[in-house]
Structure 1
Amino acid sequence: MELDEFLHTFGLSDEEIYLMQKLGKEERFRQGEDVSFIGRHIDHFHFIKQGMIRSYRIIDGNDFTYNFFLVGDICVDYESLLKKVPSQSYFEVLAPTEVITFRFSKVEALFEEHPRIERIARKMAEFAYVRLVERVKEFQSDSLEQRYLNLISNQEALFHSAPLQHIASYLGVKPQSLSRVRAKIVKNS
């Protein structure tokens, strides 16, 4: 997905789209590259043009995947950005990835003069909130099998590049449990 296509979804004028594009910096990351800023306050976000990034934490030596960012997503550590606290999350590139990186402070400077640009930040926060609420509800009420099927239907691209252990971690199980569920689904198909 191209940035201008994404920005048009917010009803921005051509001038506002130009101003946003001017603030962005294109970057490329290799598969396996770490793009984390652990212990530092995050003041940037990435628009994913191509590829995939995951966010995760290491707790007691265990790797817990929190999120996957795919084409057309905004990749950011919202907690660090909004609360202005040091980041606790790692970000790993799972496939060759192209992004456009924005400094939030520079985008924020446009809010007064161009209020529709502020709509992007609000929509990003709303989307992140809704995604989190849906994830919590799934963990509270859906079986592993249903969570897996939901993930396939909502983020099929994930299954082309993300290793099984990261998908299992995201679903809150060990890879062996996910393998059993996958085998059951295949058997019942």
Structure 2
Amino acid sequence: MSAMPDRKPRPYSRKQALQNAAFLEQLERTGNARDAARVTGLNRSMLTKRRNADPDFAQRWEAALTLAAARLARPDQGQGPARVVRSKGRLQLRVGKTRTIDRDAEQRFLAALSATANVRLSAAAAGFAHSSFYARARNHPGFARECASRWRSAPNGWRRRCWKARCRRQTSTTIGNTTIPRRSRR
């Protein structure tokens, strides 16, 4: 039995070489492969496959991570809105969430809820997913009470249309700790 020779990966095209260089530059800056791939506009799984297939690329990947860890370990480096975290024993630069519901977005949502009695439309008017406001209502009882109050103050026609769009068998809906009963059609 003869041993199989190590297959060398075929050479990268110019485009692939430029992609690798851009990715490794970002990886060295952040120490975070997911963020480096996102910033460069590349698919992370494609880069992981390249790393697994090409020992040279894997070595440069590890070198970039080592340099990033050394740079991020220095406290004198200003990071801006990002923060340094330890993940799987390595230091990484993580960018914080940029989209959080602030007081302004909350007021836009509540104003739209007063007008439409529709959580999805109101959330879209505020620029967030409706699930974000349901979660906020679950975690902030004051916001849940305000939602219920605004929903009740919406014009009856809107509320009626909103209920017709929902499952007729549903007897109530809950926003936070507040249960809003279904109104009977009389």
Fold shared, TM-score > 0.5 on shorter chain: no
| TM-score, reference length from structure 2 | 0.21
Structure showing greater radius of gyration is 2
Q: Which has the higher helix share?
A: 2
Considering Cα pairs closer than 8 Å and 6+ residues apart, tell me whether 1 or 2 has the greater RCO.
1
| TM-score, reference length from structure 1 | 0.21
Q: Which has the higher strand share?
A: 1
